[in-house]
Structure 1
Amino acid sequence: MTTVTTPAGVSLNYDTFGDPGSPPLLLIQGLGAHMLGWRAELCRQLADEGFHVLRFDNRDVGLSQKFPHGGYTLADMANDSEGLLAALDIPAAHIVGQSLGGMIAQQLALDHPTRVLTLALVYTAPSTDFIAGRDVVDERTQHPRARDRDEAIAQYLDIEAGCASPGYPRDITWLRELGGQMYDRDYDPDGILRQVEALYNSPDRTPRLHRITAPTTILHGDGDRLIDPDASTVMHELITDSKLTIYPGMGHELPPQLWPQIITQIRDNTARGIA
């Protein structure tokens, strides 16, 4: 893992998988999620498909720059993604965004279309109108500050329960490990509050979605309690020539049992773009 400063002066922590000479695939994380949430095993499998995979901590989370006064929007976070590519001398990349990261990815495609070769939008939405599980979002912000590592892990497991897939078993071992790793790297729940503020202070992207021209695949689970799968149907209807896949039994997470199908959807979509 290393840190780079974007042309706008934002410090972002990132790491990579695969051959730097392969087509770049940028993974954008969701609300309050460290880049480690893109599991290393999944990143390696994507790299094995012939991609140079990049994952990074969004601002206000993990080891990237903190913005204690907030006041930013998803457009600023999209600018961070664009700035990361610029700082690494990557003219354009295939973009994969999950949840809040998918909202950032939409904004990136709208504001910086030449940076986006293709787009994969994973259980995300064009606006906050589709956030069905506001209680799940509130859980992420209303827990008292953890007093130690064990309590932080317990809180994380409780929060992630709302994202569980009804059709697949929870990987408690992995979630416990991830919760501990995030605590060890940087425990800063206030950053999540500022990301939530950015989410709700950002305009509805629905009226602009028809402007997205990058080949797009949209993936969602019919068991998602956090973001209504109807959001993906709306995006599919508005983004020209997009492809929509709804996975039965998948919640607001990426069950390893579905990785082969998800990787295939992402790979096949990138083939529709110019690498």
Structure 2
Amino acid sequence: MTRIRTRDGIELAYESMGPEDAPPVILIMGLGAQMHVWPTSLCQRLVDAGFRVIRFDNRDTGASTSLDEHGNPSLIRVWLGRRLNRKPRVPYTLKDMSRDVVALMDELGLPSAHLVGASMGGMIAQILAAKKRKRVRSLTSIMSSASAPKVPVNQLQVMLKLARRPVQRNRDEHFRYITRMSEVIGSPGYPMSEAEIQRLAETSWERTSSPLGFKRQLVAITHAGDRRRLLQKIKARTLVIHGADDPLIPVTMGIETASLISKAKLRVITGMGHDFPEALVPRLSRLLIKHLNRANSEWQQKLKKKKRAEIPSKKAANEDSGDPMDWLEPLDKPDQSG
């Protein structure tokens, strides 16, 4: 694990897998989730397919900077502010979190990358794909949405359960919370094994995390509001993946996301909830690799066209770079023949 420090003073913990000269894929994780929620087996399959994979902890998560100086913001106040068309003060926004991704790319010397975002990470990736087009080779939005989810009773119950995170660092409470969340948001068609749940709990426990970081990220999501107009600006090749049985963000919101992005491909997976069980890795990796390969080919073709277009202009510039008076005919030299 390595760290970088952004201009905003945020330290981001990240891991890079695969050759540094391979096409880069940046994995952006969701609400309160650490980088290791991305299955290592999924990362390895992408590396084996010829990509460089970078996963990282968002601010206020895992081993990245915890912003505890911002305390415990009021989610109700932010929600009401959005409803009343006011702009309540928040610790940070999804746009700030998208700038973290750009800072990571800059530090790694990546002019562009493929972005794969899950849940909140999908929202961050959407913002970048719309606002930083030249830096996004492709977009994959997984179990995400184009606006703050409309919360019917069953989704509200899920959100309330998610919000009941242990506020003190207590190992037993942490393990019980991870187990409970797996039951609440897990994939009914691809249930996690006890070993998987135990491994997730142990990994997240070992790495420092602020209990209130989850709340501050949730406030950033709520503050972001509606991004549907923004998504219509996305030009990058886009794949939208959503679980038919997602109990947190309904599949209708994934369908809406795909409909807003020009030529986006939608893949709905029956039995998938709001997690990444190992049993889903083969299918997810096939979808991702196919999408990334096609997007990377298109990106390379665009670069070649751009270079071909630049060659004549450079040649013309070189031809015009001489003395500005060269276009005048030279004066006749005095006749010195006698």
TM over 0.5: yes
- Do the aligned partners of residues 102 and 130 (structure 1) sit closer, same or farther apart at CA in structure 2, a change above 3 Å counting? farther
Shift of 1:56: 0.1
Residue of structure 1 in register with 2:156 after alignment: 134
TM-score (norm 2): 0.78
The 5 Å alignment of 1:108-119 reads 108-119=128-139
Shift of 1:144: 4.0
Residue of structure 2 in register with 1:80 after alignment: 100
Larger Rg: 2
Residue of structure 2 in register with 1:3 after alignment: 3
Residue of structure 1 in register with 2:201 after alignment: 179
Structure 2 counterpart of 1:272, one-letter code? A
Residues 23-48 of structure 1, C-alpha deviation per residue, up to 9 Å, x if partnerless? Answer: 00000001000101112121111111
| Range moving further from structure 2, 190-199 or 161-170 | 161-170
TM-score (norm 1): 0.95
Shift of 1:147: 5.3
Give SS of 2:263's match.
coil
Structure 2 counterpart of 1:248, one-letter code? T
1:106 aligned to 2:91? no
Q: Return 5+ residue gaps in structure 2 as ranges.
A: 71-89, 301-338
Distance 2:246 2:131 in 1: 28
Number of residue pairs the alignment of both structures matches: 275
Residue of structure 1 in register with 2:333 after alignment: none
| Range moving further from structure 2, 158-167 or 10-19 | 158-167
Residues 101-158 of structure 1, C-alpha deviation per residue, up to 9 Å, x if partnerless? Answer: 1111111112222211001111100111345623222223224435521221111111
Shift of 1:75: 0.8
Distance 2:126 2:240 in 1: 11
Residue of structure 1 in register with 2:190 after alignment: 168
Structure 1 counterpart of 2:206, one-letter code? D
**Residues 29 and 99, structure 1, Cα contact 8 Å, conserved in 2:** yes
Residue of structure 1 in register with 2:257 after alignment: 235
Distance 2:165 2:49 in 1: 40
Distance 2:135 2:275 in 1: 26
The 5 Å alignment of 1:21-170 reads 21-68=21-68, 69=70, 71-130=91-150, 133-146=155-168, 148-170=170-192
Residue of structure 1 in register with 2:279 after alignment: 257
Distance 1:112 1:247 in 2: 29
Report the RMSD for the aligned CA atoms in angstroms: 1.6
Partner residue of 1:211 out of 233, 257, 267: 233
**Residues 131 and 226, structure 1, Cα contact 8 Å, conserved in 2:** no
- Do the aligned partners of residues 87 and 134 (structure 1) sit closer, same or farther apart at CA in structure 2, a change above 3 Å counting? farther
**Residues 112 and 135, structure 2, Cα contact 8 Å, conserved in 1:** yes
**Residues 20 and 52, structure 2, Cα contact 8 Å, conserved in 1:** yes
Distance 2:124 2:194 in 1: 28
Residues 64-115 of structure 1, C-alpha deviation per residue, up to 9 Å, x if partnerless? Answer: 1122216211111111111110111101100100111111111111222221
Shift of 1:210: 1.0
Structure 2 counterpart of 1:118, one-letter code? S
Distance 2:127 2:144 in 1: 12
**Residues 30 and 98, structure 1, Cα contact 8 Å, conserved in 2:** yes
**Residues 125 and 231, structure 1, Cα contact 8 Å, conserved in 2:** yes
Distance 2:156 2:93 in 1: 19
**Residues 136 and 159, structure 1, Cα contact 8 Å, conserved in 2:** no
- Do the aligned partners of residues 177 and 131 (structure 1) sit closer, same or farther apart at CA in structure 2, a change above 3 Å counting? farther
Residue of structure 1 in register with 2:295 after alignment: 272
Shift of 1:7: 3.8
Give SS of 1:245's match.
strand
